[in-house]
Structure 1
Amino acid sequence: MTLPSFGPPTNWIEVPGANDRRDVENFLGRVRKMDESAAVRIVDTGGALRFWARTPFGPLGTRVVVGSASAPDQIVLAHALALNPDTDGRIDLGYLMPSAWQGMLPPPGGFVQIELVGAQEILDLARRGRDVAADESGPLGVAPSLLDQDVISINPDAAGGATGGDDGGEGDAGEAAATAVKMHTVFALTGLGFVPSRAGTAPAGEKVRVSVRGPWVRLDGRFGSVYHRPESLPLNVVR
């Protein structure tokens, strides 16, 4: 009996590199471990795909790989996405779930680097935070007071001011006034595996970059980035 052919997928992505597919699978595995019902947003930036997920702590995490897509912006559920290409190299996304995504994405560029923090310091903060959470968390999970705690405070004068934007231009030091990195952002960065480590130790000299644009704070690890914007501020895109 010949099975009917349903044709090529309607909603698809292409990630031609095997290493890139493994990287995305690792990212998706981390996302699923944090939240089995998490939504993943896939944005085609022209030659690259940016995979987004919101962590249970609040900040957004993103991983970028070389690839293309059938549409510039598609939303699926993490548990339903498997990176198994067909004979044409396309990965079928199945049904899209646009209603599963809540909130806005950060602006695509214009971030200003204000500090480089040692990766080991980030790992140590996450470890101490987990220890406190284990002792003080209740039946509803990690206490909000712990997640909202400022764990790194950056004074742009002490840090030497802004060192340039990610769009190749000069940074605006006015963007960098009194920036604080909160514990939930540290948890998101380490929980998604964006800081390389072996047995809790980062490679010597490894750094995490802290950048800002308006109310957004971004942390860049070697394997990905996390973004946070205080929810109390108006939800309009900075352009």
Structure 2
Amino acid sequence: MTFPPAERGLWLSGDFDRIDLAIFTDRALRLDDAAVIRLRTRGPDTVIAWVATGFDVLASRVVGGRVKPEDLSAGADALAMGLAAGPGAGYVDPGFAMDSAWHGGLPPESGFVHVDDVPARVMLDLADRGAELAREHGSAHGPPVSLLDQEVIAVSAGDVSVGVPMRCVFALTAMGFLPQSAQDVAADEIVRVRAQAAWLRIDARFGSVYRRRGDPSVVLR
């Protein structure tokens, strides 16, 4: 895969990657119609897409392809149009540069320690119960902060102990990183919890979410 000279944009490896990124972008738009997608080079032929979910949690998905420059931000609406413009591999126009619209930091690519694995069905059950509580006690502004901040799972490994807040559970399901029904989840499917000094990371079947530890206000809302 080569870049045309002096071009800015995204080049995807194939149909699967285009569909994958389109689903990610669509989910981001459902959460925020003004969402910004950040695209960064992950490896020689992989790109990682980032979005702020609105839960003070970042979501990411890796697709095959290349991006130029190696770190760019685009409006999710414009990126969705570019993805819909043509099938399969090749160039995607991400629209106007939106780099100044991304103000938060990103987690590091390495340094995470595997803490524990949680059954995916447990996560879906927690999401269902959380949604019921949100309907009962939420407002026009969304679920109550007390519910979002509640740590619904505690995991540990050695001297590392972390709590998983409901924010992360909601972000996982809102972005479609877990199947929407427990019937579509095998009994042995897991969600992997990792951590490092500043970040909590949760890896599910279709993507990962990250929550800043300590002061999550620095993460883009």
| Structure (1 or 2) with the greater strand fraction | 2
Q: Deviations over 1:75-118 (max 9, x none)?
A: 01101113135999211122111121121000011211110000
| Whole-angstrom CA distance in 1 between matches of 2:177 and 2:52 | 14
Segments of 4+ moved more than 6 angstroms: none
| Letter matched to residue 16 of structure 1 | S
2:29 is aligned with 1:41: no
Match of 2:69 in 1: 71
Match of 2:23 in 1: 26
| Whole-angstrom CA distance in 2 between matches of 1:196 and 1:233 | 27
| Letter matched to residue 54 of structure 1 | A
The correspondence of residues 1-239 of structure 1 with structure 2, limited to 5 A, is 10-45=7-42, 46-81=44-79, 82-83=82-83, 84-85=85-86, 89-156=90-157, 161=158, 174=159, 176=160, 178-198=161-181, 201-230=184-213, 232=215
Q: Pick which of 19-28 and 93-102 moved more.
A: 93-102
Question: Does the aligned pair in 2 maintain the 1:123–1:200 contact within 8 Å?
Answer: no
Q: Which runs of 5+ in 2 are unaligned?
A: none
| Whole-angstrom CA distance in 2 between matches of 1:201 and 1:130 | 19
| Whole-angstrom CA distance in 2 between matches of 1:212 and 1:184 | 16
| Whole-angstrom CA distance in 2 between matches of 1:131 and 1:88 | 41
SS of the residue 1:28 aligns to: helix
| Whole-angstrom CA distance in 2 between matches of 1:211 and 1:80 | 33
Q: Could you say what the CA RMSD is over the residues aligned between the two structures, in angstroms?
A: 2.3
* TM-score, length basis structure 1: 0.82
SS of the residue 2:90 aligns to: coil
SS of the residue 2:95 aligns to: coil
State how many pairs are aligned: 211
| Structure (1 or 2) with the greater helix fraction | 2
Q: How far apart are residue 222 of structure 1 and its match? A: 1.0
| Whole-angstrom CA distance in 2 between matches of 1:139 and 1:51 | 29
SS of the residue 2:179 aligns to: coil
Distance 1:145 1:14, change over 3 A: same
Q: How far apart are residue 141 of structure 1 and its match? A: 1.8
Distance 1:88 1:204, change over 3 A: closer
| Whole-angstrom CA distance in 2 between matches of 1:98 and 1:202 | 37
Question: Does the aligned pair in 2 maintain the 1:136–1:143 contact within 8 Å?
Answer: yes
Q: How far apart are residue 136 of structure 1 and its match? A: 0.2
Distance 1:233 1:78, change over 3 A: closer
Task: Select the structure of larger CA radius of gyration.
Answer: 1
* TM-score, length basis structure 2: 0.88
Distance 1:67 1:88, change over 3 A: closer
